[in-house]
Amino acid sequence: MRILLLFLALFASMPALAIVEQADVMPADFDNPEQKARFRALTEELRCTVCQNQNIADSHASLARDVRRQVLNLIKQGKSDEEVVDYLVARYGDFVRYRPPFDARTAVLWLGPFVFLLVGLWALLAFIRRRNREQTASVLDAEEQVALQKALNALKDHDASAGGDK
């Protein structure tokens, strides 16, 4: 699915296999499984700012490695998830988080789909009501009904006689 994008990434520099020049976060660095899980969840919601569209958890870029190290350090310092994210946002901007903050700039983003649906629902109901009203209004009154019935009967007779001709 990400084929096309990855093709573009082909020309971006990619680190070669092996030789981890700077200490990446290693499985042994975690104090306990809970810490590992928290680290995993956090780094999955953070964006590698120099990559095409990859999170910190899965990127091989050296920047991602740095951020992983920072995140683990902050966790070990006892910072909450929110504090970790705030720290990174202060350094790299909002671009670094995949969960955009809710503020004046992103209100349309967060509320847009729901407003769209509510307005759509309202328009739909209004449309159906109007439609039903129009159709009720166009229903014939008693006199017209009689006239229509007469016309229909005449047509039927005509058909019958035409059929008889054959």
Partner 1 sequence: MITQLGHFSLVLALGIALLQAVLPLAGAQTGNRQWMGVARPAAQVQFVLLAIAFASLVWAFVNDDFSLLYVASNSNTAMPTIYKVSAVWGAHEGSLLLWAFILAIWSLAVTIFSRSLPLVYVARVLGIMGLISVGFLLFMLLTSNPFEAIFPAPFEGRELNPLLQDPGLAIHPPMLYMGYVGFSVAFAFAIAALLGGRLDAAWARWSRPWTTAAWIFLTIGIVLGSWWAYYELGWGGWWFWDPVENASFMPWLIGTALIHSLAVTEKRDTFKAWTVLLAIFAFSLSLLGTFLVRSGVLTSVHAFATDPERGLFILVFLGVVIGGSLGLYAWRGKQIRSSGSFALLSREMLMLLNNMILVGLAAGTLLGTLYPLVMDALTGEKISVGKPWFDFIFMVVSPFLILLTGLGPLVRWKRHDRAELLRSLRVPAVVTVLSFIVAAAVFYAGDSPAFKVALGLALAIWIVATLMDNLLGKFANRRMSLAGLAGLGGGYWGMWLAHFGLAAFITGVTVVSAFAQQDDVTVRPGDSVTLAGYSFRFEGVTETRGPNYTAQRGSVFVYRDGKLIAELEPEKRVYSNAGMPMTEAAIDSNLARDLYVSLGEPLEDGSWLMRVYYKPLQSWLWWAGGLMALGGILAAADRRYRRILRREERQRENAQALLEELLDEAGAARVGGSN
What secondary structure, in 3-state letters, does 88-103 show? HHHHHCHHHECCCCCC
H helix runs in 14-141, sequence order: 33-44, 62-76, 81-92, 107-137
# residues near partner 1 by CB under 8 A:
55
Compute the distance between CA of residue 133 and CA of residue 127 in angstroms, rounded to an integer: 10
Report if residue 99 touches partner 1, rule: CB under 8 A: yes
Q: Which of the ranges 66-74, 79-87, 105-113, 142-150 carries the binding residues for partner 1, by CB under 8 A?
A: 105-113
120 makes contact with partner 1 (CB under 8 A): yes
**Count of beta carbons in the 10 Å neighbourhood of residue 67:** 24
| 26 near partner 1 (CB under 8 A) | yes
Cα distance between residue 91 and residue 73, in whole Å: 15
72 binds partner 1 (CB under 8 A): no
Stretch that binds partner 1, among 13-21, 80-88, 146-154, 158-166 (CB under 8 A): 13-21
Binding of partner 1 by 10 (CB under 8 A): yes
Answer yes or no whether residue 160 interacts with partner 1 by CB under 8 A.
no
6 binds partner 1 (CB under 8 A): yes
